[in-house]
Chains A and B, each alone.
Chain A
């Protein structure tokens, strides 16, 4: 589905829910669902991204998944192709690094990661962050944004 068509379909669904009076019900996001979403995203990140098991992508990611990382841009197929460049590693029970902040709200999950580097001019150590924002619906990851910009 083209992005414009996807967006139209999404807005149509939202407006249909509003018209049907389902907005209030849809808004009753509870902490149980949010906790489930957060666990799903953390498992996805660990197994598929961190340890490279793109074979598990369909377990976590919707058929109509939308990737907003500008170095990938597309759907699940493009995501799998991108992460297939690195061979899968043995999946560990935990990530080596945990996010410094993580929360779920409604259908969204936010992960913030901290990294260390040295200032190229002064060699002073400093820290910076990257992030992942994920939308989950019906137990599958529908959409993903991150901090990356296009590299040359």
Chain B
């Protein structure tokens, strides 16, 4: 999930993931959409995209690169529909909320990154859906001296040239994510947890 969730929780993991990617093999993508680096570590030899799917990949990659990874809130509506639906219960519920969160957490956005970093380990596009899957590493809870690999996804549905719906994995069990409290009221949510 290079999603909003990754913005919040994933930067340490992203660093680890980037290191992992550097060490892994790269494969040029068949019929790669322009402007999107299609390096991946899983077998993508069966994939072939339509022109519409390529556009959708570009839109998804542009969103994650410019807004989520480069932290540019002013570009959110270049990619997201006004009434975009977000299925991560820990994310801002609306694009306006996402802009508020990005502004709050990253008052100085990065210069726009040239490409996704880290790159997804697997990228799929089918009709109006795009999925990015990432290998992540974290400490093994049973033995913190070791790390292990798990996966996470970002999945979006396109409609009328914009991202209309977003899914990634996040729940509210375990340790409450205290970061969400800080910007929650600014994000237009009605179910903010009590600090």
Contact = CB atoms under 8 A, between A and B. Distances in A.
B12 to A, nearest CB: 14
B4 to A, nearest CB: 14
Contact of B27 (A14, A26, A27): A14
Interface string B169-184: 1111100100000000
A17 B46 CA distance: 11
B171 A29 contact: no
Nearest to A68: B151
Interface in A96-114: 101, 103-108, 110, 112, 114
A92 interface: no
Q: Report the interface size class on chain A.
A: 35 or more
A103 B56 CA distance: 15
Contact of B126 (A23, A73, A104, A131): A104
A7 B148 CA distance: 17
A112 B106 CA distance: 31
A131 B193 CA distance: 26
Contacts of B176: 120-121
* Majority DSSP secondary structure for residues of B touching A: loop
A135 B133 contact: no
A117 B172 contact: yes
A77 interface: no
Interface stretch (A39-47, A56-64, A79-87, A141-149): A141-149
Contacts of A106: 44-48, 124
Contacts of B142: 150, 152
Interface in A124-146: 124, 126-131, 133, 135, 143, 145-146
A29 B46 CA distance: 6
A148 B48 contact: no
B167 A29 contact: no
B88 interface: yes
A14 B45 CA distance: 7
B134 to A, nearest CB: 10
Interface of A: 7, 10-11, 14, 17-18, 23, 26-29, 68, 70, 73, 101, 103-108, 110, 112, 114-115, 117, 119-122, 124, 126-131, 133, 135, 143, 145-152
Closest 10 CB pairs of A and B: A106-B46, A107-B46, A105-B126, A27-B48, A128-B171, A106-B47, A126-B89, A121-B193, A147-B169, A152-B141
Given A114-B87, A117-B172, 11 more contacts: A23-B45, A26-B46, A106-B124, A108-B124, A120-B172, A122-B194, A126-B191, A127-B87, A128-B87, A128-B169, A150-B150
